[in-house]
Structure 1
């Protein structure tokens, strides 16, 4: 009926579902149509040509259908004229067999009987009450669904935040490892640079010493003086006699000097071999290249035996001149 269709459309139901409900219930009223919509709201709407109406084309067809339906439900069509069908299990009265069949499918009841009670049409007030009940049921259902959706959204947000925290933690750990790695690489670069500078400076000093000796020899040859051997002159120098090496062989011409350098603060000693013509500053540079705790400009060097503390002026003298050849033990203090 046009009035029932308009009412259902005004309630917000989809037009296709309204057409399906009205056709499936044979246009037998607002309540059957609403019941059909609620019962089938999760099902897709079928093609209208596949939906068979529950009502016949005329009164005779309705009577035949009602009689057949009653027989299938075990209800005898005898006695007084039946105006309705009653469910023996719940007492509800239905206008025709289509509504009784729909009730049987929905409730599972299977015991019906004829009734002489006439099903009255709903008044406008009753329609409004039914409409209000239906809307309340729909609102309650939407409310429950909204709560469920909110809980699902909260759970998903918690999972997203946890995943974000885990990713942030991993990034921070990687960043910290990278910083430590870069710091270690800078430290190694600094030590390598210090070693390279110490080696270059020692080589420069050795070359300078060699050039000076060569120039002295050439000058002596030009002046007709005898050429003095560098090792012999070093053995005759007062510095060597006043500070002989621990091995007692400072007078010999050793080209290299083996050194063991110990830190005054303790720890593993360092060993190296330098040219005997290298200045004492080369020892300081070697130590600075091994540890960041030592500064070339402030480090102090000394010997325990014979006991001696080297002055800053001694840093320009060669290991040979200081009597440290062929080997010696040096104590370094930062």
Structure 2
């Protein structure tokens, strides 16, 4: 039979009032209350109130009849043999284990001594502390996993940005080179036009002088019979370049279109070997291609057509 002192002892031990009141009501005493608190430490008060039936109002929980003259001092689970001091303890045991067969017993269960109560409480507190420690470890591991995922995502984004910046740099270098070549060609055309105009003025001045002096004008170079030019030898129109690539892993032969850039060749080698390529060096004449401007050159622009030997680094 539970007493107010049982509830007070539980409160002094540090248990919250509502949980302690439920424990005392369902167990019928301090010993059973401690056991009940241990068994239900993982449940909230709301879960306990919603799931556990009240033995005083549940007609399905009925003790077995005793023999004539006997007095019931405890309850026994016929399925496992465990004994209980109160109906509430037996009912909770049946709810937790699914055991359904109970009977009254004349055996009296001795109450816990003060020393046993303290030991029981210490065991309960130790289990709760162990559970909290395990949960703290799990939370820390979960935090580490989340941090690794975040760092990996950040690195992938950064690598993608660097790769995009590298391609944009090569593209800008190629455009700048084409612009420079166009400027050179335009300057050459202007210089040729200036030279042609200067020569035309000189010839006109000589013709005018000859007319004033009564001499025959000098022949016009544009009207002079020029020797028939010999038919030029048609240059071979190479569309591919054969490259002998000397790498740390060995030498391989590769064929690429003449419009392929050295950067694209480097990307193809990296995709096959898994090793980044930073430069190419020809054996003769010795020349190194590296950096955005060099790697943006096509094989034809770099003079590697129709074939070449490249040392890959």
Structure 2 unaligned residues grouped into runs of 5+: 236-299, 304-313
Computed over aligned residues only, the root mean square deviation of the Cα atoms, in angstroms, reads 4.2
**How far 1:129 sits from its partner (Å)?**
0.5
Change (3 A) 1:16 1:191: farther
Instruction: Give the distance between the partners of 2:222 and 2:107, measured in 1 at CA.
Output: 146
Kindly state the Cα deviation for residue 8 of structure 1 after the two structures are TM-superposed.
4.7
Larger radius of gyration: 1
Give the one of 95, 100, 106 matched to 2:85. 95
CA apart distance, 1:222: 4.7
Contact 1:20 1:45 (8 Å CA) reproduced: no
- TM-score, length basis structure 1: 0.55
Runs of 5+ unmatched residues, structure 1: 57-64, 236-243, 249-257, 263-289, 294-334
Please report the TM-score for the alignment, with normalisation by the length of structure 2.
0.58
Matched, 1:141 2:131: yes
**Does residue 115 of structure 1 match 2:105?**
yes
Mark the CA change 1:4 to 1:195 in structure 2 (over 3 Å): closer, same or farther.
Answer: farther
Quote the residue 2:263 is aligned against: none
Counterpart in the other structure of 1:157: 147
Q: 1:90 to 1:291 in 2, by over 3 A?
A: closer
1:196 CA drift (Å): 1.2
Distance in 2, matches of 1:131 and 1:43, equals 19
For the residue of structure 2 that corresponds to 1:212, the secondary structure is: helix
Judged with a 3 Å threshold, the aligned counterparts in structure 2 of structure 1 residues 44 and 120 are, in CA distance, closer, same or farther, namely closer
Tell me what 1:79 maps to.
69
CA displacement at 1:172 relative to structure 2: 3.1
Q: Paired residue for 2:42?
A: 41
Helix, strand or coil at the partner of 2:221: helix
Give me the whole-angstrom Cα distance separating, in 1, the residues matched to 2:13 and 2:199.
Answer: 109
CA distance, structure 1, for counterparts of residue 209 and residue 21 of structure 2: 126
Q: How far, CA to CA, are the matches of 2:148 and 2:30 in structure 1?
A: 49
Deviation at 1:132, TM superposition (A): 0.9
The structure 2 residue matched to 1:168, chosen from 129, 153, 158, is 158
Q: How many matched pairs? A: 237
